[in-house]
Amino acid sequence: MSRTWPLEEAQERFPEVIELAERGEAQVVTRGEEEAVVVLAYDEYKRLTGEKKSLWDALMNGPRLEDEELERVLARDHSVPRKVDLDLAP
């Protein structure tokens, strides 16, 4: 559950804001009538933003398929020929 703090109160009680965020409770800080920022635990921030992985990492660390499953997934259906339009005229 999150709590909303006016900026001035959040500044005065900053250690409490941090403690609540570290416990997993997002803290919303407002400036005037508008929400300005959210204070989150760093682990939650990392989870939300995610570490960017390369395609290689995703393929190498993704779910593993058995040989039969892999062949089935990669197999091309040859039963229906594809139509190819070779007419390059506009």
Q: Report the CATH fold assignment for 3-48.
A: YefM-like fold (3.40.1620)
> How much is the pLDDT for 75?
81
Tokens of 17: 């804001």
* Residue whose C-alpha is closest to residue 7's, from 39, 33, 29: 29
Domain ranges across the chain:
3-48
Q: Give phi and psi for 72, each to the nearest 5.
A: -65, -45
Neighbour tally for 40: CB within 10 Å: 18
* Residue whose C-alpha is closest to residue 41's, from 54, 55, 23: 23
* pLDDT digit string (tens) for the chain, length 90 residues: 789 999 999 999 999 999 999 999 999 999 999 999 999 999 999 888 887 778 888 788 877 777 777 788 788 777 777 788 888 876
> How much is the pLDDT for 57?
81
For CA atoms 82, 86, 87, 90, the dihedral sign is positive
